[in-house]
Structure 1
Amino acid sequence: MSGICEGRVVAVTGAGRGLGRAHALAFAAEGARVVVNDLGVGLDGTPGADSPAARVAAEIRAAGGEAVAHGADIATPEGAASLVRTALDTYGRFDTLVNNAGFLRDRMLVNLGEDDWDAVLRVHLKGHFLPLRHAAAHWRAETRAGRRPAARIVNTTSGAGLLGSAGQGNYSAAKAGIAALTLVAAAELGRYGVQVNAIAPAARTRMTEHTFADAMAPPASGFDAMAPENVSPLVVWLGSAASEGATGRVFETAGGRITVMEGWHPGPTTDKGTRLTPEEAGETARALLAAARDPEPVYGAR
């Protein structure tokens, strides 16, 4: 196989189904050798009975590509370290990390238990941080040894993390953290030849099929805008050497649409030059709010 990722070694977490599987197949189709990670858990993170990572790796090999399955928990230091080690031990190099793994435990805030909060923050936010940290340590060592890489990290945030989503306080907080982590990682790791970006995808997966059931039903004919395969071309490009110069960005993508999200920017401001009284602070805040743009509505609260 040949393509824009020819010769690169790519690890994709949560690649047994949905978006992760689509990413793994798309990278392989562009010539990458792929480490397919998936713990094989259910939608809520409980253990599953099969090995979807092995199935996807076999699918890639059957199509003429190269892939190896990795079934460790990347939200643990040992699992994250073994992800990088598997790439290096199997293929002798490591070029791209795609952080995609996650699950849902949706509740309204007054019903959201601490265990459900911790579990979702762990798999999404810690499950991004630990693989990123171990990959970055490897690329830093390569740079210090005089072998500066063209390394890439693609994180997975969400519209829920950018705008919020009613009934998904834990998920929204985790995905917002991933967006901020992306900006920090891009700033810190550029000196080691690492570019870091994030996508906020909209696609039909196990995690979205109930939330957006009507909008995400496959069409009877024509272009299926909600197919997860539509998201993967951008991920493959971001994970390739061809994306040189693109870093510290969040892209919203669905179907054939790509949007560069521009995040928080200072809006209307004023400065008295000395301390305000509470009454003055209130009057000032109301005047600034009147001059500011209305915020985008939270998903589920429109």
Structure 2
Amino acid sequence: MGMMEGKVVVVTGAGGGIGRGIALAMAAAGGRVVANDLGVSLGGEGADAGPAQRVADEIVAAGGQAVANTDTVSTWAGAHRIVQCALDQFGRIDAVVNNAGNLRDRMFHKMNEDEWRSVIDVHLHGAFFVSRAAANHFRDQEGGAYVHMTSTSGLIGNFGQANYSAAKLGIVGLSKSIALDMARYRVRSNCIAPFAWSRMTDSIPATTPEEKARVERMKKMEAGKIAPMAVFLASDAAADVTAQIFAVRANEIMLMGQSRPLRSVHLGEGWTPEAIAATAIPAMRGQFYPLERSGDVISWDPI
């Protein structure tokens, strides 16, 4: 028996890349899968039921159980229809993988309202809506697992992704809150920051030799390498794992840090702006984080 035997899992954004790999792995581990995907472009244009259906058909052809779903994660009603699909088809829901995503990259000072809202809607609102749609079922059955996709673009930083970075760091806060609020019901919530070559990373510009070399290194990071961690976190084997952030890159798994105080300074008579400038900041400056992006911090080649 596989680690997901008897369980029903919703995978959003399952039509390709990381989501497809997770959906196939969940089914291979014995899970029954709702493969959700709108089949739109990275910018949100068009809609095609084909990607979700192809993944569902692939699972069924391999002897598994799956159904395709094309509802949007970005609305309350759409998210509830996704979860209801699992209930209608398989009678229950045990895990949610919030993987659906889009990109509207633009430098912050050029980003418009639509580029901001469209990314927040899919990533952050989508993660909340789908998670919330499953929450009452998890609570009533006293068990369930959430697996959310975050990104080092949010955890560390990146160029031209203010919308994406804000959404992905917001997902970390959402996951922690879910873990705290639903621990009493034995519901777990964790994040994965995936490094993988997919349709989303295929949009990364590569005009200089350095950028082209970086892209070639990224192509070695297979999307399917993310799936084992997602299956583990959704399974009963992870019953004592919650509120964590894991980065997965090729054959590496990294446990990511979370915000904690680094240094504290105290002044008995209280602080003035001048005292802060003269004393507090110099005392803390050694622990300041430099202005880095993801590639500067995780700079070694994939293993």
Q: Given the two structures, how large is their TM-score scaled by the length of structure 1?
A: 0.91
Question: How do residues 52-201 of structure 1 correspond to structure 2 at under 5 angstroms?
Answer: 52-140=51-139, 142=140, 147-149=141-143, 151-201=144-194
Instruction: Identify which range, 203-212 or 61-70, moves more after superposition.
Output: 203-212
Q: Partners in 2 of 1:263 and 1:205 — Cα distance?
A: 27
Matched, 1:204 2:197: yes
Structure 2 counterparts to residues 29-44 of structure 1, below 5 A? 29-44=28-43
Partner of 2:252: 257
Alignment correspondent of 1:242:
237
Q: Which runs of 4+ in 1 moved over 6 A?
A: none
Question: Aligned with 1:133: secondary structure?
Answer: helix
Output aligned runs, 1:12-51, within 5 Å: 12-51=11-50
Indicate which of 274, 283, 288 corresponds to 1:288.
283
Aligned counterpart in structure 2 of residue 226 of structure 1, from 215, 221, 226:
221
What's the secondary structure of 1:47's corresponding residue? coil
1:275 aligned onto 2:274: no
2:301 is matched with none
Structure 1 residues 45 and 213: alpha-carbon distance in aligned structure 2, compared to 1, 3 A threshold: farther
Contact 2:49–2:70 (CA under 8 A) maintained in structure 1: no
Query: In 2 relative to 1, CA 31–125 (structure 1 residues): closer, same or farther, beyond 3 Å?
Result: same
Deviations 1:218-269 (A, max 9, x none): 89xxxx7410001110010001111110000000111110111112110111
Q: Which amino acid aligns with 1:180?
A: G
What is the CA–CA distance in structure 1 between the aligned matches of 2:192 and 2:228, rounded to whole Å? 12
Q: Partners in 2 of 1:294 and 1:108 — Cα distance?
A: 22
* Structure-2 change in CA distance of 1:213 and 1:85 (3 Å): farther
How far did residue 49 of structure 1 move? 4.0
Residues in 1 aligned to 2:157 and 2:35: alpha-carbon distance in whole angstroms: 30
**d(CA) in 2 for partners of 1:80 and 1:102?**
14
- Give the fraction of aligned pairs with identical amino acids, expressed as a percent: 43
Change (3 A) 1:44 1:213: farther
2:201 alignment partner, SS class: coil
Letter in 1 for 2:58: E
Asked if the contact 1:166/1:301 (under 8 Å) is kept, the reply is no
User: 1:108/1:208 Cα in 2 relative to 1: closer, same or farther (>3 Å)?
Assistant: same
CA contact (8 A) 2:38 2:49 kept: no
Q: 1:95 to 1:50 in 2, by over 3 A?
A: closer
Q: Kindly report the root-mean-square deviation, in angstroms, between the aligned alpha carbons of the 2 structures.
A: 1.9
Unaligned runs of 5+ in 1: none
- Asked whether the equivalents of residues 56 and 68 of structure 2 are also in contact (C-alpha less than 8 Å), the reply is yes
| Residue identity matched to 2:142 | R
Partners of 2:213 and 2:63 in 1: CA distance: 37
Instruction: Give how far 1:90 is off.
Output: 0.8
Give, in whole Å, the separation in 2 of the partners of 1:48 and 1:93: 28
Contact 2:158 2:293 in 1 (8 A): yes
Distance 1:235 1:301, change over 3 A: closer
Contact 1:182 1:197 (C-alpha < 8 Å) held by counterparts? yes
Alpha carbons 1:225, 1:254 under 8 Å: kept = no
Deviation, 1:285, is 3.3
Paired residue total: 291
TM-score of the pair, normalised by structure 2? 0.91
Report the AA paired with residue 73 of structure 1: T
- Going from structure 1 to structure 2, the CA distance change for 1:300 and 1:252 (only over 3 Å counts) comes to closer
Matched AA of 1:72: D
